[in-house]
Amino acid sequence: IYTISLILKQIYKMNTLKIGDKVPNFSVTDQDGNIITMQDYQDKKVIVFFYPAASTPGCTAEACNLRDYYKDLQDKGYEIIGVSADTEKKQSNFRNKYEFPFPLLADTNRAVIEAFGVWGLKKFMGREYDGIHRKTFLVHSGVVAHVIDKVKTKTHALQILESDVVS
């Protein structure tokens, strides 16, 4: 049983992108069915934030905080993309309800989620399950410049603004 447990941990170990890694190209739809690719952001600075599920308390707090600081982040040259495995309809409802000025990717087949390496084993209240780990990547011209592993949902924009690479 111990050996099986070790094997399973290796299988489910996330291969998260790190600083200096090139972001693989992806093609996925946003909340309105528009196709978004990494190529669209090739020469730009972009904040790619991953969240477990639209309209849940932590995800709402995080996305609303980014919305509230959107102008400040744009002034630093950033565009923002939110990503979860929710459907286009759920993402659209989430975006419309909270008036987010940035796209939310409906990554139902987990292409982007797995490309960034944020899908993996999670633990909550003694239960283990597979899911999206809340992480944010600051990408400059297609390369990871900074990774925020411990996202503070209510003050996430300040975490980004205070990072060394936002300038």
- The pLDDT tens digits of the residues spanning 59-102 come to 999 999 999 999 999 999 999 999 999 999 999 999 999 999 99
pLDDT at residue 65 in the model: 98
- Report whether pLDDT(162) > 50: yes
Q: What pLDDT score does 125 carry?
A: 87
CB 138 within 8 A of CB 163: yes
The closest of 57, 58, 56, 108 to 83, measured between CA atoms, is: 108
Check 36, 59, 104, 113 and give the catalytic one: 59
Known active-site residue 59: yes
Which of 9-13, 62-66, 161-165 is the most confident on average?
62-66
Please provide the average confidence, as pLDDT, over all residues in the chain.
91
Percentage above 90 pLDDT, the chain: 83
Q: Answer yes or no: are the C-beta atoms of 81 and 46 closer than 8 Å.
A: yes
The predicted structure's pLDDT at residue 165: 65
- Cβ pair 86, 106 in contact under 8 A: yes
